[in-house]
Structures are given as structure tokens and as C-alpha cells.
Amino acid sequence: MKTLFYPKLAWDGIRKNRRLVFPYMLTCICMISMFYILLFLGSPSTGELLPRGGTTAMQVMILGSFVIAVFSVIFLYYTNSFLIRRRAGEFGLYNVLGMGKRNLAKIITFETLITSGISIVVGILVGIVISKLAELGLVKMLGGQISYDIRIEWKSVYITVLFYLVIFAVIWFSSIIRVGVSSAVSLLKSEKAGEKAPKANWLLGLGGAVILAIAYYKAVSIVSPLDAIMVFFVAVIMVIIATYLLMIAGSVLLCRILQKNKKYYYNPKHFVSVSSLVYRMKRNGAGLASIAIIATMVLVMISTASCMWFGSQDMIDDRYPADINFVFRFDKSELMTEENMAYLRQAFEDYRAENDSTTTTVIDLPYMEMSGSEEDNNTINFDKSDIDAFNVSSMREVCFIPMQTYNEATNQNIALDDGEALVFSSKGAKEYDTINLTVDGKSRTYKCVNPGTEEIFSDYYLGNIIPMISVVVSDYSDTMKFFEASANDRWYNMFTWKYSFDLNDSSMTAAEYAKGLKEAVSNALEEKSELSENCWYYYEEREYEALEYVALNGSVFFIGIVLSIVFILAAVLIIYYKQISEGYEDAGRFEVMKKVGMSKKEIKRSINSQLLVVFFIPLVFAGLHLAFAFPMISKILNLFGLFNTGLFMMTTVICFIAFAIFYAVVYKVTSNVYYNIVTDAK
Amino acid sequence: MSLLEVNNLKKVYKTRFGGQEVEALRDVNFAVEEGEYVAIMGESGSGKTTLLNILAALDKATAGRVALQGMELSGLAEKKIANFRRDNLGFVFQEFNLLDTFSIEDNIFLPLVLSGKKYSQMSEKLKPIAARLGISEILKKYPYEVSGGQKQRAAVARALITDPKIILADEPTGALDSKASDELLRLFGEVNELGQTILMVTHSAKAASCAGRVLFIKDGEVFHQIYRGDSTNQSFYQKITETLTLLTQGGNQ
């Protein structure tokens, strides 16, 4: 029976500490099963069930599994070191009772074997069961073929088991080291360590506030989406640092300032709460900051992902305004004649008639596109040498559109005088009164006429993130020639004709129609020698392209949900452990207060107010971070072709409310654990 | 009428699961007059701490009567108990029971703050007490920064600052070295001379010898009591040890 001594001791240790160990195992199980599920979804056999875009979806899933992997390592390591710290007293006692470090190591080894064994086995089993549901969900979202066969991806199982075995081995090793290097007495006392009164650190506290202010300012002051991406990562890092500084040092500082105010501090309502908060914040500052960061991360992720998913149709409609979209590019301006365009239009018309279909033209737009850099005095300079590729914020996209086209498209009859133009600014470009367009030292200046409301160009090329100015001119061919002549080999010179139409009534699908049309257009270009050499084109068929969007947005949304669950679970565990460790620490304190003359009610009120503050701090921080990140993220969403700020606002608010409710429930439940500990211990 | 009257006090503990009953106090009777300095002695397990907890209204008696200035503790509503404790009783504990989250000054202020006193009032009140107890210099420090003796004096200051009718001390010298113990006992004597009633539970004969009367508790009853009378600390100490020997050796009275 002696051989079973250590396993039994280990099992007892786990059982006695189930308040600590079970939630840890639950988290392990959840992470393991999520990891397996993502690997499973990223496997080729799942990909086969998905429509076009399946590869994208698989890549997203694999990417998600990486995120879970990295997070598992950090988080499980952190959690385990907390567990070991809490149980140091127990190990110290064993040590005092005559167990050597070697024996302690044996107990820890068996404990690790038990917890990790159960976690991995259960995790995989849960993963296998849920993976089927996840697959059905994903396939349904992306519109693939539903299969009800239960499948086990053995390769994914191997990877999962192997990966988590390695993590648990590392954790086991670090526990052994931790217990190995400390003496019995320090083990016994380690739980009592850190009773010093925290000093207010002005430098760190104020530093945190300043960094946060800068990060917030950076986030709100962004104009162009391209800046947003660059600023985003800097801002995220600054916000993380600032959150930790503020929670750890700033909170102590604030309490100290409150304590200086005698009238406020020596009030029965604040006296106990404020002074206890100092300690609470000192001990939990880092934990609360982590919760705030995780909460922010989850909120940003899920609100963005859901916005992309629910905005998919908007994105597709914006990007592909009609069923079939053709774009022609001419090498020389003189080829972009009304005659040539009419010739091509006829090719479309012939094909339509041939196939006995009806179509509606949605866009018929000739324009010239150029890139320049924004300078002072309302000037845009097109000299290539002056365009600093690194200074993207000054880059501007300028599109010239014939007045006639504009009038036809908007059913208006605007006449421009010489030197006048309609100018539309979008995507962060400024509004102009007059505009100078300069190249090679020569320039054209237009007085800007109030364009009214109609911009016909807004649907164009939303993937393009550079601020755009469209200029409607009456002397279109002159303008083309002017810039062409003096602007050889520059960044632009796109003489473009865009022709998009809906297919209303046809025996063919849009894809078949477009494919045949492509042949017809190619033939037409071949037949006209000047075009065959100097004109090229491409087309996009909406339905087909849309699948890619749905696959990407759908899998991002899906992964957003999965990762949110994992992160939220981690945050819950942090909160839970925080409550437990505080409970043990506070139990003695409240006993004293009772003796000195605080009633149970007063004690309870004081506990409540402290818990509430500690509860709200991460939520408030997460809310603030989210609010300030909002403009930045909505700019970044522009890059993905999503311009529906209202939708993003809605998903953000809904996600925040849902999160707050969930958070409140979790807090309520874990608070009960806290109350039990505080009132139990006598 | 005595300041504190205890009649036929009985306390029975039940183990949590199952009916095993432990009689901590069987039948305790005594009275404390105003201005008295009474020590209660007994071996561990004799019921001293239970008695003190009941006197402090921290625990409820199974039967019997405890009255402070004629007011019965058992008649107090749960809500009023905390107030009662704060206004009438001062506590000094073996483990000091200072809160590590407060500075020494704030620890002393705690009961007054709970009663809603203003800072200026409190600080006026603290000055003479702190001076007498020799802790004026350490008021801004935190418990972990000062010695055990200083902590205990701070606890005494916390007990005194509310002008309690009676100070209840539970093994006040238990965690102190002999020098700090002597100092504390001297302070108790001083305070008592100024008219403060003190009830101290201890099993140190030396501490008890500073009191004016010593009650001995055994098996949940007041077994014996002796008065100092005119005797010196030294001879009173002698008497106490003799009684203690009798108490441990002798069977029944």
C-alpha cells in the first residue's frame, strides 16, 4: 500500500483545495477543447464542406488556434503560480512535519499528473462533441453543405494532446522549482507576506494618467484610416501600460489624496472603505488591470467581428454595386473617346440581345484617376518626386469626371463656368473652396462650386484607403491632355471607364453570363486594332466575389465568439481567484471591526461598497477604452470596406451591455464565495 | 447597583453536527463596582474567553443575566449591539487587533469615526491620551512599523478614547515581553486610578497581581475570589499563586 501513499496524498490535496483547483481544471478543459475545435475546423476535411472562401476560413481558424495556444501558455502559467503561492502554507507544513523537498516534488508531480490527465482527456472528449456543433454552425453561416457525420480529426487530437502536455510539463517544472528553492518557514509565511502600507507613487500614477491621455488623444485625433492602423498598435500598447500603471499606482494615489481630505476621510461611510481599498488595489491592481484589458480586448474583438459579419451585405453592395462590374483601362487619353466607349457598349448590347436577357445599367462612368500629395494653399501636387511614400497621410487620390457624365448620372443640368468645378471630398480629405492641381510647375486652379448632395463616386473602390477628391469638370478631355502631357511616368494616369449592370432576366446565372460576356468583350477589343494593344479590362461578378467576403467575415465572427469565450473565461477565473484570496485576507480584518464596534450591517455595507468599486473599475476602464478606440476602429473598418458607423455603434453598444450583464452575474456569484469565506472563518 | 452584574450565567456549545454539548459556563455570578480593577483567572478551557465574549456582547449566553448599569445585554436588539459596544465598552486584546490598513492614529479613531465624530474633536481627544500612553510620536505610523508594546498601547488608546464605562482586556500581556508587560500594567494601574473600570482576563499571576480583586474560574463557575486589600503587589502575587496552586491541585473546595 506504500506505493499509493503519494498518489493518495496528491488526490487529497486536490480535493481539499477544490475551491482553487476545480476552476483551474475547468479552464484547462475549456482551453483544450477550444484549441481542438479550432484545429478541427481548420482541417482540410472541414474545408471540403465549405464553399468558395473555405481556405480563408480555414486559415482564420488556424490563426485563432495560435492565439489560444499563446494565451494558454501565459494564462495557465500565471494561474498555476497563483495556486502554488496559495498552497505554499500547506507544503510548508508538510516540510516542517518532515517531508523533504523530494517528497514534496513527488506530491506535486502526482497532482500535476492527475489534474493534467483529467483536463486533457475531458478536454478532448468535450472538444470532439462540440466540434460537430461548431462545424454545423460554421457551415451554416458560410452556406456550405451540411453533413451530420461525426468525425474525429486524429491529427488535431495528437497536436492538442502534445501541445498541452508540453505546457503542463513546463508548469510542473516551474512549480517544482518554486517549492524547491524556498525554505519551510518562507513557505509557511508566504501567504502573510506583503502587509506593508502601500506608498503613493506620484511618478507612476501620474505617468499612467498622462500615457492614457496621450493614447486617447492619438486615438481620437486620427483622420485617415491608414494612420489608424499604424497608430492602433502604438495606442494599444500605451493603453495597456497606462491601465496597469493607473490600477497599481494611480488607485493608491487617489486613495491617499482622499485620505488627505480629513472631512471626507473621517466619515463613517468612507473611513473603512477608503483605507481598505488602498490595500485591495495594491494587491489586486495587476489583476484588475488584466481584467480590464481582457474585457476591452473581448469587446473590441466581438463588436468589430459582429459588425463585419452583420455588415457583410453592405460591404459587398458597396464594393460591387451591380451584379456584373466591368472596368476598362486605357493607356492613352485619346483612346478614351465617346466613340470607343460606344463601341464597347455595343458589344455588351450585342451579347445581351444574343442571349435574350435584360439588363439594367447601374454605372457608366469614365474618369481619370491620379495620386498626388496634399500641400499648403489648397494645392495638390502630382510630381512624383514630391510624393513621400512614407508620409502617406498627405497622399490624395484625385478623380476627374466629365460634367456630362455627372449630369446624366444624377439627372441634373448643371453648367459650369470656365475655371469652375464640382469638388467632392471623402475618406478624410478636406473640403475645398478653390483647388490647385499642380504638375511640373504648371497648375490648374478651379473654383469649387457647391456640389449639392449627390456624389456619384462614393461607391468606387472602397478598398482604397487614401483620402479621395473627385473633381467634376466641363473641359474633361482638355484636362486629361493637360495632365497626360506633363505627367509622364507618374503615379497614376489611369484613364478608366467603369461599366456595371444588373442582370434582370436571363436563362443564365450571373456567373455564366459574365463568363460568356468576357469572351465577347475580348473579341470586340481584338477586332479594333488601336484598342487591342492599348486597352485592358477586368470584371467582377458580385455573387462569386461575395462568397469570399462571407467566408472571411463569417469565420472572423466565429473565431471572435470562440476567442471571446476563452478570454472571458480567463477573466472570470481571475475574478474568482481574486475574491477567494481577498476573502481569506479580509476574514480576520472584519472580525476585528466587529469587536471594535462595527455592526454586521455596517461591515456588510463596507464590503459591498468596496467590492462594487473594485467591480466597476475594470468595467469602467473597458468602457472608456472602448469608447476612445471607437473612432479608430471605425476608421480601420473603412479599410475593410465597411462605412456603416451606425451599425458599428450598435454592435459595440449591444456587446458592451451584454458583457456588462454577464460580468455582473459572474461577480454576483463569485461575491457569494467571498461572503462565505469571510463569514465562515472565525 | 453595581456597574456590571452577572447572574447565573450559563453557556452551552453544541458541536455543529450531532448533539454533543459542551458546557463552557455553568453558573457564573459576580459583580463589578464602578472604578474597580478586576482580574479573572483560570486555566485555558475554564471559560474565561467565553465569559468575556458574552460580556462584550459578541456572543449570546444560553441562560442568565448580564447587566451594565442596569441595562440587560440580552435585551439589546441586534442592531443596537454594535452601538452599545462602541459607546460603553473598550477592548484590549492579546493580539492587539489593530487593522493593518490603518495608521495608528486611524486605528484609535476607528470607534469615534463610526460614531460620526469630527476630526477636530477626535484629535483633541486623542492628544492627552496619546501623551499619557507615550505614543504621540508614532501616531502616523502603521502597525507593522511599531513594536508589540507600542501596538498594545495604541490598542489601549483605542479603548480609552470612547470614555467607556468598562474596559474589557483579554490577555493583554499575552503577546508582550516582560518589559512591555510591566509598562502596560503600570498604565492600566494609572488609568484605573483615574477612575476607569477595568475587567481583565489573564492567566498571568503577575498581571493579576496589579488588580484590586481577582476572580478564579474553574469548570465554568467562579470558584474563588480574593481582594488585594492593603497588601502590596508582592504579597498579593503570593496570595494569587497560592490560590492557583490550590486550584490546580485541590479537587473540590
Chosen domain end from A488, A509, A536: A536
Average confidence (pLDDT) over B244-253: 68
Q: Is the CB of B109 less than 8 angstroms away from the CB of A266?
A: yes
The verdict on A526 and A542 lying in the same domain is: no
Amino acid identity, position B191: V
Residue B208 distance to chain A (closest CA, Å): 23
Least CA distance to A260: which residue of chain B?
B119
More confident call, B76 vs B210: B210
Residue B109: list chain A partners with CB under 8 A. Answer: 266, 271
Count residue pairs from A and B with Cβ separation < 8 A.
80
A511 plus A362 within the same structural domain:
yes
Band the pLDDT of A274: cuts 50, 70, 90: confident
Buried b (16+ CB within 10 A) or exposed e, A525-559: beeeeebeeebebebbbbeeebbebbbbbbbbbbb
A599·B97 Cβ contact <8 A: no
Chain B residue with CA closest to A585: the answer is B100
Same domain, A177 and A289: no
pLDDT at B253: 45
Least Cα distance to A28 among A563, A450, A566, A454 occurs for A566
**Yes or no, beta carbons of A589 and B111 under 8 Å apart:** no
Mutation target vs A (from B100, B106, B162; most A CBs, 10 A cutoff): B100
User: Which of A278, A597, A600 lies at the smallest CB-CB distance from B101?
Assistant: A278
Percent share of chain A, pLDDT over 90: 16
Q: Within 13 Å of residue A437, how many CA atoms lie on the same side as its CB?
A: 27
How many C-beta atoms surround the C-beta of residue A432 within 10 A?
18
What amino acid is encoded at A237 in this protein?
I
A558 and A619 in a single domain? The answer is yes
Q: What is the pLDDT of residue A394?
A: 77
Q: Are residues A422 and A296 in the same domain?
A: no
In the predicted structure, residue A634 carries a pLDDT above the cut 70: yes
Query: What are A395's three cell numbers?
Result: 497622399
Whole-angstrom Cα Rg for chain B: 18
Maximum separation of any 2 CA atoms in chain A, in Å = 104
Domain range for residue A183? 1-192
* Rounded-to-integer distance, Cα A384 and Cα A401, Å: 22
* Strand pairing class (B213-218; B221-227): antiparallel
Q: Do A603 and A660 share a structural domain?
A: yes
- Whether residue A597 and residue B83 make contact (CB cut-off 8 A), yes or no, is yes
3-state secondary structure of A466: coil
In chain B, which residues have their Cβ closer than 8 Å to the Cβ of A269? none
Number of DSSP helices (H) and strands (E) in chain A, helices first: 22, 10
Average pLDDT of the segment spanning A214-219: 91
From chain A, the residues in CB contact with B106 under 8 A are 271, 275
Query: The sheet that has B166-170: what strands, in order across it?
Result: B71-72, B63-68, B4-14, B21-32, B221-227, B213-218, B37-41, B197-201, B166-170, B89-93
Of B56, B79, B122, the CB nearest to A599: B79
Q: Do B103 and A276 touch (CB under 8 A)?
A: no
The reply to whether A143 and A2 lie within a common domain is yes
pLDDT at A653: 95
How far is the C-alpha of A354 from the C-alpha of A139, rounded, in Å?
A: 39
Which chain A residues are Cβ-neighbours of B99 within 8 angstroms? 275, 589, 592-593
pLDDT of residue A183: 65
Of A516, A536, A556, the position where a domain reaches its end is: A536
Total domain count for chain A? Answer: 3
- Model ipTM? 0.75
Q: Are B228 and B62 in contact (CB under 8 A)?
A: no
Whether the predicted pLDDT of A469 surpasses 60: yes
Give which of B5, B9, B52, B4 is closest to B202, Cα–Cα.
Answer: B52
Q: Is the pLDDT of residue A10 over 60?
A: yes
Strand partners, B201: B40, B170
Query: Which segment, A53-62, A604-613, A650-659, B131-140, is predicted with the most confidence on average?
Result: A650-659
Residues A461 and A547 in one domain: no
Residue A682: per-residue pLDDT: 43
> Is residue B203 a contact partner of residue B176, using CB atoms and an 8 Å limit?
no
Closest CB from B78, B114, B116 relative to A597: B114
**Cα angle, residue A167 at apex, residues A77 and A61 outer, rounded to 5°:** 100
pLDDT greater than 60 at residue A459: no
Residue A385 has pLDDT above 80, yes or no: no
Question: Which of A192, A227, A249 marks a domain boundary?
Answer: A192
Q: What is the mean pLDDT of residues B41-57?
A: 83
Q: What residue of B is the nearest CA neighbor of A606? A: B114
A350 and A373 in a common domain? yes
To the nearest whole Å, the CA of B115 is away from the closest chain A CA by 7
What is the Cα Rg of chain A in Å?
33
Q: Is the pTM of this model over 0.80?
A: no
- Is B158 in Cβ contact with A596 (below 8 Å)? yes
**A281: nearest CA partner in chain B:** B101
Helix (H, G, I), strand (E, B) or coil at A677: helix
pLDDT in tens, A306-358: 998 998 888 888 788 888 888 888 887 778 888 888 888 888 888 888 888 88
Q: How far apart are CA A351 and CA A519, in angstroms?
A: 10
Verify that A391 and A303 share a domain, yes or no: no
Look at residue A263 and tell me whether its pLDDT is greater than 70: yes
Domain boundaries, chain B: 33-60+76-214
CA B223 to chain centre: 19
Check: CB of residue A483 under 8 Å from CB of residue A368.
Answer: yes
The beta-carbon neighbor of B142 closest among A197, A593, A594 is A197
| CB distance A61 to A42 below 8 Å | yes
C-alpha cell at A130: 462540440
- Are the Cβ atoms of B101 and A279 closer than 8 angstroms? yes
Pairing of strands A535-541, A324-330: antiparallel
Residues A298, A232: one domain?
A: yes
C-alpha pair distances (Å), B100 with each of A261, A589, B91: 20, 8, 17
Same domain, A187 and A112: yes
Mean pLDDT over each residue of chain A, to the nearest integer: 83
Query: What is the percent of chain A where pLDDT is above 70?
Result: 91
Nearest to B144 among A195, A589, A601 (CB): A195
A419 backbone φψ class: left, alpha, beta (φ>0; ψ -120 to 50): left
The highest-level CATH class for domain B33-60+76-214 is: alpha beta
CB contact under 8 A, B106 and A275: yes
Q: Is the pLDDT of residue A533 over 60?
A: yes
* Chain A residues near residue B116 by CB distance under 8 angstroms: 267-268
Contacts of B93 in chain A (CB under 8 A): 595
| A264 CA to centre of own chain | 42
Confidence of residue A1 (pLDDT cuts 50, 70, 90): very low
Structure confidence by residue, pLDDT tens digits, A152-194: 889 999 999 999 999 999 999 988 888 777 766 666 655 444 4
